Structures are given as structure tokens and as C-alpha cells.
Structure 1
Amino acid sequence: MADIDLNRMSLDDLKKLQKDVNKAIDGYEDKQRKAALAAAEAAAREMGFTLAQLTGLPGKTTKSVSPAKYRHPENAEQTWTGRGRQPDWMKDALENGQSKDEFLISPAS
């Protein structure tokens, strides 16, 4: 490793060096953490488990898709779950005095 004479460096150069060193340390630690995690996951897989099962921590989850609750009366391909932003066809229908219940796919009992 090259010897660096810190006493001859300007304050700006020292701060840049410090920033570069901190960035290199963070990158090294991140790489080591990922390697350790991959090794732990591989060991768990060899034993027939997931790492989440062994640690009791939640694993990677997939977002569940909610079933459609409302359907456009003229175009059955246009549906809405009732969550999130209302589609334009539903907004237009509500503005024209229609009720959401008119568009229910299967009324709740």
C-alpha cells in the first residue's frame, strides 16, 4: 500500500480522502454482508428450509392481488378492486347519479 503524507495534504484533499475511505468501507461491508447472507441462505436450503423459517423473521413476501369487486357494464375487461384510485368510468358513473352497487361483480351477503 502506498504511503500517503497526510501532513502535506490540504484540508479539501483530506476531506475528499476521508469521504472516499468511508465509501470504500461501506462498500466492503455491504459486499461481506451479502456474501454472508447468501451463504446462510444456501445452508438453510441444503437442509430444506428457508432462512426466514429458521430465523422466524419475515421473508420476501409477494404482494397479493385483490380480486376485482366492480365491473364496467359495457366492457367486462375494465374492472376495479375498490381500492386505490377510482377509474374514470366509475367516476363518470357516480357523477351521473349511479351507485357503486350497480357495478358490483357479486354483491356481498
Structure 2
Amino acid sequence: MAIDLKGLSAQELKRLATDIKKQQTALNKRKPIAGVRKKVIALAKAEGYTIAELFGGKSAKAAPAKKAAKKGAKKATKKVAPKYRNPANPKETWSGRGKQPLWLAAQVKKGKKVEEFLIKK
């Protein structure tokens, strides 16, 4: 973050200097990160967890779910009732989800409308 100090007035510079001192004081009051990290790890371990389980990352328990997601595993979806039927072959149906089936795409290409193939209930 670059601040163009040349474009600031004396009052703006003074406010900026005050804000800088406040931020430095707040940062100096914080405990060293290594000490805090040790405490968090110890607390997690005492409760039977690993840091990876709590915050993500590699761990024996968390790895299988992440591996499956990386490999492009599809999550289970409900089967959807068909909305369209091929009049030439009534066994061929389409739910309206995903890519249009070839039989329907061919009919649309011939000038027919998708609505003509709706299954009437």
C-alpha cells in the first residue's frame, strides 16, 4: 500500500502519524506468534485434535475428503424426473438438466421447439 505523502496536508500527515503510533503500540502489545502457536497446538492436542483438523490442511483424518474433492469426485445427486420425451423412442427422455441429448438437439436443429417434447402430466 503506497501513500503519496506529497499530496497530504499538514493536518492529514499529523493524523497519519498518530494512526501509525497507535498501530505500532497495538502490535507491540501482542505476544510473539511462536508462543501463541505453541499454546494453540497444546490446547488442540489436549482436546484430542490436530491443528489440521481444526483449521484445515494435511492430516490423516482430513486427507480423504480433500483428495476426493481434488480428483473431481462428483457428489451424489438426486435423480430428477424426466421433462422431455423422444416421440420416436419413448424410452429416451431428458430431465432438462445438463447437455441436451442428441435426439433433441437434432430435432431443434430441424426447426422444432423444445417445448414440443414436454411430457404431459
TM over 0.5: same fold?
A: no
**TM-score, with structure 2 as normaliser:** 0.38
**TM-score, with structure 1 as normaliser:** 0.42
Larger Rg: 2
